[in-house]
Structure 1
């Protein structure tokens, strides 16, 4: 007899004993379980179910009560690894569970089956608790095959999905021994975490073209009717495909004597609404409607789940039909307006927002109204926006809000920096703070020296670094006593001591960088001076707050090369009078025009090279997580993101080269020996310049010793709860108070 059948038999025997013996109440009070669960007439156990548009929990008092789900999405990795490597251990999980619960969350959502240690750690953490931390188990779809085949019914896809379902259910109930497969979880699953499961969450965000093609190709596909779930008369072929998969989850779980609420992943791109103000056809092409699937004999119930962000798709900014509600600042809150419209479609079904949030990052990739952009926020701003979104979700009557994301994820990519991160398979070995997708977490995963070198203007903490970690600049500049450099996985750090106290109103500090052949002479920055044997890729300017920035050589400018005449030609050719060094920009929105889109949409970009002055010390009143420099007296310290210096991958010394992007619209890299730093001081009143060339009008760059480092295959990092963590903690606690 299999393990699952033995469990089922034991459940029926227990139910029979209770029915025959009676006196269940006395037994309950003598042996009160930490977790009280509901037992249906057929012996099926439940802790959660849906009723109408409500999500219910069976309480310790033995009654069903409506609850608001407050949660956070949890990834399966940490810096230096990709998700399929599953590097997390018991210590990681137990620490995070405690922090998540202290944040006020009652559930964590995982996207796929984790290693056995996740389930055993959760069982250990919850043991003996009346109010445990629950989890929602995601089941990953064959996403790559679906996109490649553009056909959900293509041979092998449904079979693979069903196999993943069987694996997930068996893993949750501690009844699996899964052999190793590259990129997938495996091992012996012996910890039964079923009592801590809140719901099943099937699939990933659906590609709209795949859904549309599936519906057209199989328009005569019959309605699916299973034992537990069925497609309605209005169900499309793709929705019937989903109904069959939900039914398979139910069939697998029934064997363990439990029923939990079911849902499938959906997102704004395939929602049930019409968006006349959306420029891209594919973002309003097809709907996947949870109302077209119904539970037949599933007491656990069923709900809709959506990923909803305030900046994507573009209609959150461009659709005037959503500009109906204003916030306290007089800005249109299109997020709240969207939530109202979406919720009004689901009058008899709970709806949860199972992904939402903004990142705390220097980089930005989409604009949203009211400053709710995808990136460009410090931790305080991230917290304020996430709290606002949470409040909107709660106020509009949704069943739950599950924040994206618990931890920062170094391996992530986003569209506007992806062409520059080369080689792509080394993304997890460094933290590119220009890629906002990496920094959604409320738990910061900081690079190796971030907690050692505080940007506060004092160089005292540099002395704590290990011998050999810091290198002294070997040149000489009048007015500069010394300059030293170090680095970690996110930044190049520069510490400068001047002869006199720094006054940005009187003096400007510039630092040129040279990493490879090519570049520009800093003609405007160093009039009358010339560099021999090389040119500069970037110039770092430190002075007044509004001028402090990293500027890029006009011949090296990635934005112009990719989107100008050499690339997609969304930008015009640079005018003849363009300065030698220009602002460092990232594209935010691409030029679109009919017939490819519904209406014309302009190209938009954002200056990303601005250097924010503040403090990187979380304990300081001046704390700003985007701080890149500060000064105090004679000392100046900076931390410069690697990509602003042209690096595609610092861990393997790869810098973007000057070759044309070509028809492939692709950059290439070369290996650099290091970075040559060329500092100079400019007196504002007289224009006098002191530089490494002294009184000479030229400087041979080849005589300057470059800053070098060893390549790395492993990373150093530290964890820190962001300011946004504490903002969400208060928001979740406020909801708890309102629920009482």
Structure 2
């Protein structure tokens, strides 16, 4: 707005007529780089800038701006409440590399470069045209979007500079064909990422870079970042709920991590918390999980207490969580006052949303499901409503880790003679920092000495672990590495 009509024509790179002031500025930056490389080294190489779908040059009718969305909702009688939403306006501003080109006779070339993932922004999943696209492996909104980019850029090469899905327990965004932002085993991650690479190839784009080389414990995701506190200690532990921490071809797992398989051998050196006729209980902590090993009548019913307050399930014992696990399923419930969300609405049916309440402290019940809302309700520019999508984080799944790999979507395994092995990511217990044990609380998280456990019909048990000040991890190649190696090796 402050630089209307700005243009740029350099020695090697120029901004075409119609370029925005920012595109003209980028053309100048690339031209300076090109001049330096040519004059210093006598070499030329393709030039680009990193872009992403939020800034693509396409028009997306399903993606209204914040102001457009509010106006459409008010017009039909909604009572607009302030939602704690960390993203809006994914189709308001564009950056078009097609308007930045080499000058006549320039030894340099330009290409478009998009960090394009299949699950976000929502217009990739909501645009009806993309929903009709069929790629080499079947229906694919992502393939439809890639085709749209190709049509716009024409002969200009397009590199997908980042893509992929993470192998995490937490799911931060749903995608139409299941290419979700998390919620995948390592085997599923390998299958999906290899398919994405093939779809980029089938769309006749220039190539793909798969994100990322290594699981990154320091990363943050919008759905879970507020539950990691203090934030500066986040790199000291591995949050399996945080999708952003789990993209790697190379897994960074807790050092000495157990394998979820229902086998008690790894537990031999772990002391008993409880050992009595007919049942026993062990607990173990690492940088990723609270582990439990139980033998006794099923289903297991266990209460967990981390902070003051909670449901008075026994004299002197207030529980924030209720765990029940059996052969056919399991569930972790949270005390209602401690649950960081509450359901509100904009006054009309179908307008419900989960409101993030910030720091909370437990009351006296009841226990409620731990539900998350990865995809908020959206309103397209034509007034079409796209419903929200939720899932129950505390719904536990039976499964096992494959040999040499991990299935983080598996929460418990059954062994012989009623043996039950359970692992709970720390975030599911609202521990904001297990390395220096800290738990969610109001007005801010508080240090704790450990977790108190109460088996149905038993006495309270205290489980504590040794804090740490450096991340202890082991590296391992995921199935994704071997799948991409075979794919890129060729026939």
Normalising to structure 2: TM-score of the pair? 0.86
SS, match of residue 467 in structure 2: coil
Query: What is the match of residue 460 of structure 1?
Result: 265
Query: What is the match of residue 609 of structure 1?
Result: 394
Aligned counterpart for 1:317 among listed residues 125, 133, 157: 125
* Contact 2:440–2:446 (Cα < 8 Å) also in 1: yes
The correspondence of residues 546-557 of structure 1 with structure 2, limited to 5 A, is 547-557=329-339
**Mapped partners of 1:280, 1:712: distance in 2:** 45
Aligned counterpart for 1:479 among listed residues 273, 278, 294: 278
Residues 394 and 571 of structure 1: CA distance in aligned 2, closer, same or farther (over 3 Å): closer
Query: What is the match of residue 484 of structure 2?
Result: 728
- TM superposition shift of 1:540: 1.9
* Contact 2:34–2:108 (Cα < 8 Å) also in 1: no
The correspondence of residues 138-217 of structure 1 with structure 2, limited to 5 A, is 216-217=1-2
**Mapped partners of 2:136, 2:158: distance in 1:** 26
The count of aligned residue pairs is 454
SS, match of residue 324 in structure 2: strand
Query: What is the match of residue 41 of structure 1?
Result: none
**Mapped partners of 2:156, 2:143: distance in 1:** 19
SS, match of residue 148 in structure 2: helix
User: How big is each residue's C-alpha offset from its partner over 1:309-330, in whole Å with a ceiling of 9 and x where there is no partner?
Assistant: 1111111221112222246886
Query: What is the match of residue 81 of structure 2?
Result: none
Aligned counterpart for 1:302 among listed residues 97, 110, 117: 110
Q: Does 2:316 correspond to 1:533?
A: yes
Residues 633 and 333 of structure 1: CA distance in aligned 2, closer, same or farther (over 3 Å): same
**Mapped partners of 1:265, 1:572: distance in 2:** 34
- TM superposition shift of 1:591: 4.0
SS, match of residue 588 in structure 1: strand
- TM superposition shift of 1:265: 0.6
SS, match of residue 724 in structure 1: helix
Q: Does 2:448 correspond to 1:672?
A: yes
User: How big is each residue's C-alpha offset from its partner over 1:382-424, in whole Å with a ceiling of 9 and x where there is no partner?
Assistant: 1111111111100111111111111111111111111111111
* Contact 2:282–2:293 (Cα < 8 Å) also in 1: yes
Residues 309 and 412 of structure 1: CA distance in aligned 2, closer, same or farther (over 3 Å): same
SS, match of residue 294 in structure 2: strand
Aligned counterpart for 2:412 among listed residues 629, 644, 656: 629
Which protein has greater RCO, CA pairs closer than 8 Å, 6+ apart? 2
Question: Relative to total residues, which structure has the larger helix share, 1 or 2?
Answer: 1
Q: Does 2:143 correspond to 1:387?
A: no
- TM superposition shift of 1:432: 0.8
- TM superposition shift of 1:436: 0.5
Query: What is the match of residue 293 of structure 1?
Result: 100
**Mapped partners of 1:508, 1:643: distance in 2:** 23
Residues 313 and 571 of structure 1: CA distance in aligned 2, closer, same or farther (over 3 Å): closer
- TM superposition shift of 1:454: 1.7
Q: Does 2:218 correspond to 1:420?
A: no
Question: Larger Cα Rg: Structure 1 or Structure 2?
Answer: 1
Query: What is the match of residue 443 of structure 1?
Result: 250
**Mapped partners of 2:21, 2:135: distance in 1:** 41
Q: Does 2:61 correspond to 1:276?
A: yes
* Contact 1:259–1:298 (Cα < 8 Å) also in 2: no
Give ranges in structure 1 of 5+ residues lacking alignment: 1-215, 522-529, 660-667, 681-690, 694-703
- TM superposition shift of 1:234: 2.0
Query: What is the match of residue 295 of structure 2?
Result: 497
SS, match of residue 725 in structure 1: helix
* Contact 1:323–1:337 (Cα < 8 Å) also in 2: yes
Q: Does 2:217 correspond to 1:434?
A: no
- TM superposition shift of 1:472: 2.9
Query: What is the match of residue 656 of structure 1?
Result: 440
SS, match of residue 11 in structure 2: coil
Question: Relative to total residues, which structure has the larger strand share, 1 or 2?
Answer: 2
The correspondence of residues 586-605 of structure 1 with structure 2, limited to 5 A, is 586-592=372-378, 600-605=385-390
SS, match of residue 728 in structure 1: helix
User: How big is each residue's C-alpha offset from its partner over 1:414-463, in whole Å with a ceiling of 9 and x where there is no partner?
Assistant: 1111111111111111111111011111211111232xx22111111223
Aligned counterpart for 1:344 among listed residues 135, 147, 151: 151
SS, match of residue 613 in structure 1: coil
SS, match of residue 627 in structure 1: coil
User: How big is each residue's C-alpha offset from its partner over 1:152-173, in whole Å with a ceiling of 9 and x where there is no partner?
Assistant: xxxxxxxxxxxxxxxxxxxxxx
**Mapped partners of 2:344, 2:317: distance in 1:** 25
The correspondence of residues 224-263 of structure 1 with structure 2, limited to 5 A, is 224-254=8-38, 255-263=40-48
* Contact 2:45–2:108 (Cα < 8 Å) also in 1: yes
User: How big is each residue's C-alpha offset from its partner over 1:606-636, in whole Å with a ceiling of 9 and x where there is no partner?
Assistant: 112232322224259xx63432221212332
Instruction: Report the more deviating stretch, 550-559 or 363-372.
Output: 550-559
Residues 459 and 564 of structure 1: CA distance in aligned 2, closer, same or farther (over 3 Å): farther
Residues 471 and 671 of structure 1: CA distance in aligned 2, closer, same or farther (over 3 Å): farther
SS, match of residue 445 in structure 1: strand
**Mapped partners of 1:407, 1:380: distance in 2:** 16
SS, match of residue 42 in structure 2: coil
* Contact 2:136–2:202 (Cα < 8 Å) also in 1: no
Give ranges in structure 2 of 5+ residues lacking alignment: 67-88, 346-350, 357-363
Q: Does 2:453 correspond to 1:706?
A: no
User: How big is each residue's C-alpha offset from its partner over 1:513-552, in whole Å with a ceiling of 9 and x where there is no partner?
Assistant: 101112224xxxxxxxx4122311112221033x312221
